[in-house]
Structure 1
Amino acid sequence: MSSTRVSGVVVTPVAFADPPLLNVVGVHQPYALRAIVQVQTDSGSVGLGETYADDAHLARLAAVADVLPGLDVYDLNGLRQRVSDVLRLDGSAQVGGMLAIQNPADVVLSPFEVALLDIQGRELGRPVADLLGGAVRTEVPFSAYLFYKWAAHPDREPDAWGAALDPDAIVTQARRMVEEYGFTAIKLKGGVFAPDEEIEAVKALAAAFPGHKLRIDPNGAWTPATSVRVAKELAGVIEYLEDPTPGIEGMAQVAGETDIPLATNMCVIAFDHLKPAVLADAVQVVLSDHHYWGGLQRSRLLAGICETFGLGLSMHSNSHLGISLAAMTHLAAATPNLTYACDTHYPWKTEDLIKPGALDFFDGSIRLPTNPGLGVELDEDALGRLHEQYLACGIRSRDDTSYMQTVQPDFTRNTSRW
C-alpha cells in the first residue's frame, strides 16, 4: 500500500487588525501576527496549521519546513524527530508576549502536526476529532473574554466596541458579548487597574449576569498576600482565579489559603512543570494550549496527566484566526475531562482567512465541524490580503510594553505590582 508523503510546505506570515486591549504588560498593538502553515502532499491534499509569527519563530518554521518533504503524513513521531533534529537550540523563546518557553520544539511542532492531522482527516473522510479518539461532545462551549480597552489606537478611528475603563463599561462590553454570542461563562482580563477596582468590576458582572460562571485573570499582577485578599472578596462569585501571582511557589501559597480553584497558563506551560505543581498543590485547573504544548496529540497526553492527578482542564487563548479555532474545537470536543468553557479571542477579530460558515457560535458554543479534517477551507484571496497587511504594518514581534510606552512613557510591566 503506497503512503501519502509531504511534497512541500508553505509558511505565510499574516497580520490582522487587533483592538487596543489592555493587560498586565501593556496594550495590544494595532495588528496581531500569525503564521499560516500549508503542508502539501504528493496526493494533492493540503493540510492547514496556524501559529505565532515573530521573526525568530518564522525562522524556525522555515528550517523545519525545509526537511519535511518525503515524510509520511501519518508519521507524527517522525515529524517530532525531524523538528528536534533541526531545533537543537539553547535559550528561551518568548511566546504570545508573556510566556518564556525553555524549549521551542513543541511550539514549532504544533502547526505542522495540526496540518498533518488535517491531511489525515481529509484523506480518510473523517473529522480530526475522530483521530483524537472521537468526539465526546458535538458543541464546545467558549467564554466571553472581556478586556479593559481604549476606544481606539492612537491616531486611529474608534473601533466598534468603544472604551472600557470602569465596571459599568465592562458590564456593557459583557452584555454585547452575551447577546451576540450567547456565552454563559465570562472571563475578565485583569492586572490593569488596582485590585479593588477589578473586584468591583467582577461583582458588577455577577450582579448583571446571575448564573453566569465568572473568572478573572490578572496575569500574575498581584503578590500572594493580595491574591489571598482578592480570593476572599470573590469567594462564591468566581468559578476559578487564574494566575493571580507569579510562579508555582507563589500560587501554592495562595492555594493554601483559599478554596477557590487556581488556574494557570503561566506557571504550568510544559510537561516538566506538572510534577512540581502537583507536589505543591499550586494549581487546580490547567489551561491547555496546543500551540505551545506540542499540538493536539500532546495536548491529549496533558489531559490524561491532569485526569490522573485530579486537575481540572480548560483552554487558553491568544489572538488567533479560524484555523486555530477549528483545531481548538476539535481538541476540546475529543477531550472528556475538558469541562470548563474555553477561552477565545475570536469575537475581537474583524477579519479572517477561512471561508465563512464553519465556525459560527450558537448559545456560546461552536458546533463541531463534521467535514473531513479540520472542516475549514482557506480563502486564498484573504490570505493574500492579510499577508500584504503583514508586509505593510511593520510589526515583526508582539511587544505590548513598548507599544504602551509610546503612549505612557513611564509605563512598566505590572507583574507582582500590587
Structure 2
Amino acid sequence: MLDATTQQVSSQSPQSEPTSCRVERIEVTPVAFADPPLLNSVGVHEPFALRAIVVVHTNTGHYGLGETYGDEAHVARLRRAASALQGADPFNLNLISRLVSESLVQDNGQGGHGTGGMVTTTSLDDRVLSAFNVACLDIQGKVLGVPVSTLLGGAIREYVDFSGYLFYKWANHPGRESDKWGEAIDPAGIVAQARKMVTDYGFKALKLKGGVFPPDQEAAAIEALHQEFPDIPLRLDPNGVWSVPTAIEVGHRLEASLQYLEDPCLRIADNAAVRAAINLPIATNMCVVSFADLQPAIKAQAVDIVLSDHHFWGGLSRSKLLSGIAETFGLSLSMHSNSHLGISFAAMIQLAAATENIDYACDTHWPWKLEEDDVIVAGTLTIQDGKVQVPTGPGLGVELDTQALERMHQQYLDCGLKQRDDTSYMQSIDPTYELKSPRW
C-alpha cells in the first residue's frame, strides 16, 4: 500500500555519481480518472480512463516517474519488466531497453494497447519501454540537477504550443449528470465547444476528432469553425474510417479550411493515394506508429506530418531519434495525445521543448480531465494563451502526490474497468452499433 500520510515526495534528494545509482524497487500502480462521453470512430469513451503510474526508486534516494496505459494486460507486462530492471543503472538507457525487451520474449500478445482498438500495430517493446525510459530520465535529471530537456539536447523554447482538441460528445454518460462542456453532436455544438476552449485556454489551433458522423456533417462542422475562427488553423481527424474516394472528395471541399487532414484512411497506400490527389498535407498517428512504418510510408509519399507519441515510440530518447529521421526525410512533426495525466503531459512538454522540428501545435486531452484527477502536485502545468511554460526544475519538473495516487488507485479498484473498450461501451448503450472500417 502507498503511504497515505505523505502528501508529496520531494525531488530534493542526495546527489551522487551516476555510476553508483541503481534501481532498488519499482512500483506499478493502475489508476482511473473521470472521462467524459467523447465519441470517436470506434465508439465512445467510458466513464473512466485507465492509466498506469510507474515510480522507479533508486538506492541513492531518488525516484523517477513514468505514465502509460492502464489496461490489465499492459500492467502485467510493466510489472514483469519492472522485475527485470532490479539493480539496473538508470543512466544506462541501452541496458534498460534490452532488459525490457528480454522480459517480453514470452509475451502472449493479448491486447492491452490502451487505445480503444484504434491503433494496434505499435511496437510492443517500445510501448512497454516508454514509461521506464521517462522515469529513468526523470531520475537522471534529479541526480544531475537539470531538467529532462537538457538531457535531450537542451531546451530551444520556453513555451510549448498546444491545440484545442474538439470532440463530438453526449451531454452526459447514461444515468449520470451533465458535465460543464455539454452536448456537441452537430456543427453548432462543435462551434460552442470551440468557443469555450478558446476562451478558457487561449488555444491558437483547433482539432476536431471525426470519424463519428457522415463526412458531409463533419465537413460542415469544419466550415462552421472556419467561419467562426477564420485566423485559427484547423485540423480534422477521421481516424482512418474513410475510403479513398470519400477522403479525396472531402479533402477537396476543405482545402481552403484545413491546416492538415489527419489519417483520412488507415493504410499507407490509401493515404498515399489521397495525398497525391488533394492539396492538403496528410498527418498521421495511425499508419506510422513505429520505426518499421517509416520506410514504407516515406517510399510511398503517404504522409507529410508524423504525430509522434512517446508512449508508442519507446519514450523520450527514441522520440528524439524519430525527430532526426523526420528532419532527414523532410517530414514535419507534431504530437498525438491520448487521455493522459500530468506525468505524461510533463514528458510531452520536456520532449517538445528539446525538439526543434516540432512544426505544429501539439495535441492534448488536458482540458477534458477534471482538475482534481491527477497524481502530481498541482500548479506546475497550466495552459495559458494556448501554451504551457516548460518546467525548469530537475527531471520532469513535477512532483508525485502520494495521497492522490492512493485515491486514484482506489478509484481504479472501485470503477471495475480492466481495459479500455470504447466499442463494447457504445454497444451497451446502442446495440445496433457496428465497428466498421472504412465506414464511409
Same fold by TM-score greater than 0.5: yes
Q: 1:212 aligns with which of 232, 250, 253?
A: 232
Confirm or deny: 8 A CA contact 1:92 1:102 kept in the other structure: no
Q: 1:381 aligns with which of 403, 406, 414?
A: 403
Deviation string, structure 1 residues 71-108 (Cα, Å, up to 9, x no partner)? 11100000011011111136474341111136411010
SS in 2 for 1:77: helix
Deviation string, structure 1 residues 26-78 (Cα, Å, up to 9, x no partner)? 00000000000000000111100000011110110000111212111100000
1:6 aligns with 2:26: no
Structure 1 counterpart of 2:115, which letter? Answer: G
1:255 aligns with 2:275: yes
1:184 aligns with 2:201: no
Root-mean-square deviation (CA, aligned residues, Å) is: 1.0
Report the Cα distance in structure 2 between the residues aligned to 1:207 and 1:121, rounded to whole angstroms.
46
Confirm or deny: 8 A CA contact 2:168 2:185 kept in the other structure: yes
Report the Cα distance in structure 2 between the residues aligned to 1:101 and 1:110, rounded to whole angstroms.
16
Q: 1:134 aligns with which of 151, 154, 158?
A: 154
Report the Cα distance in structure 2 between the residues aligned to 1:56 and 1:359, rounded to whole angstroms.
30
Confirm or deny: 8 A CA contact 2:123 2:313 kept in the other structure: no
Q: For 1:48-67, list aligned pairs within 5 A.
A: 48-67=65-84
> Against the structure 1 CA distance between its residues 219 and 75, is the aligned structure 2 distance closer, same or farther, given a 3 Å change threshold?
same
Structure 2 counterpart of 1:288, which letter? Answer: S
1:361 aligns with 2:378: no
**Aligned position for 2:100:** 83
Q: For 1:338-417, list aligned pairs within 5 A.
A: 338-350=358-370, 351-417=373-439
Confirm or deny: 8 A CA contact 1:28 1:400 kept in the other structure: yes
What is the total number of aligned residue pairs between the two structures? 418
1:38 aligns with 2:55: yes
1:230 aligns with 2:246: no
Deviation string, structure 1 residues 312-359 (Cα, Å, up to 9, x no partner)? 101000000000000000001100001100000010000212111110
Structure 2 counterpart of 1:230, which letter? Answer: V
**Aligned position for 2:42:** 25
**Aligned position for 2:289:** 269
Confirm or deny: 8 A CA contact 1:183 1:365 kept in the other structure: yes
Report the Cα distance in structure 2 between the residues aligned to 1:339 and 1:311, rounded to whole angstroms.
10
Moved over 3 A (4+): 89-95
1:155 aligns with 2:175: yes
SS in 2 for 1:116: helix
**Aligned position for 2:115:** 96
Report the Cα distance in structure 2 between the residues aligned to 1:260 and 1:415, rounded to whole angstroms.
22
Report the Cα distance in structure 2 between the residues aligned to 1:196 and 1:80, rounded to whole angstroms.
46
Shift of 1:20: 0.1
Instruction: Give the structure-1-normalised TM-score.
Output: 0.98
Deviation string, structure 1 residues 360-380 (Cα, Å, up to 9, x no partner)? 112100000011100001111
Confirm or deny: 8 A CA contact 2:28 2:78 kept in the other structure: yes
Confirm or deny: 8 A CA contact 2:114 2:419 kept in the other structure: no
Q: 1:294 aligns with which of 305, 314, 319?
A: 314
Report the Cα distance in structure 2 between the residues aligned to 1:414 and 1:204, rounded to whole angstroms.
27
1:198 aligns with 2:218: yes
Structure 1 counterpart of 2:381, which letter? Answer: L
Deviation string, structure 1 residues 178-233 (Cα, Å, up to 9, x no partner)? 11111000000001110000011001101111110100001012100000011100
Shift of 1:413: 1.9
1:172 aligns with 2:169: no
Report the Cα distance in structure 2 between the residues aligned to 1:267 and 1:301, rounded to whole angstroms.
18
Report the Cα distance in structure 1 between the residues aligned to 2:305 and 2:278, rounded to whole angstroms.
14
Q: 2:132 aligns with which of 92, 109, 112?
A: 112
SS in 1 for 2:277: coil
> Against the structure 1 CA distance between its residues 359 and 102, is the aligned structure 2 distance closer, same or farther, given a 3 Å change threshold?
closer
Q: List runs of 5+ in structure 2 lacking aligned partners.
A: 1-16
Deviation string, structure 1 residues 153-174 (Cα, Å, up to 9, x no partner)? 0111111111101111101100
Q: List runs of 5+ in structure 1 lacking aligned partners.
A: none
Report the Cα distance in structure 2 between the residues aligned to 1:130 and 1:92, rounded to whole angstroms.
37
Report the Cα distance in structure 2 between the residues aligned to 1:153 and 1:91, rounded to whole angstroms.
32
Shift of 1:415: 2.4
Structure 2 counterpart of 1:218, which letter? Answer: P
**Aligned position for 2:3:** none
SS in 1 for 2:91: coil
Confirm or deny: 8 A CA contact 1:91 1:102 kept in the other structure: no
SS in 1 for 2:307: strand
Paired-residue identity, %: 58
Shift of 1:381: 1.0
SS in 2 for 1:49: strand
Instruction: Give the structure-2-normalised TM-score.
Output: 0.94
Report the Cα distance in structure 2 between the residues aligned to 1:126 and 1:148, rounded to whole angstroms.
41
Report the Cα distance in structure 1 between the residues aligned to 2:304 and 2:235, rounded to whole angstroms.
14
**Aligned position for 1:68:** 85
SS in 2 for 1:13: strand
Structure 2 counterpart of 1:290, which letter? Answer: H
Shift of 1:152: 0.4
Report the Cα distance in structure 2 between the residues aligned to 1:265 and 1:10, rounded to whole angstroms.
30
Report the Cα distance in structure 2 between the residues aligned to 1:394 and 1:91, rounded to whole angstroms.
23
> Against the structure 1 CA distance between its residues 101 and 221, is the aligned structure 2 distance closer, same or farther, given a 3 Å change threshold?
closer
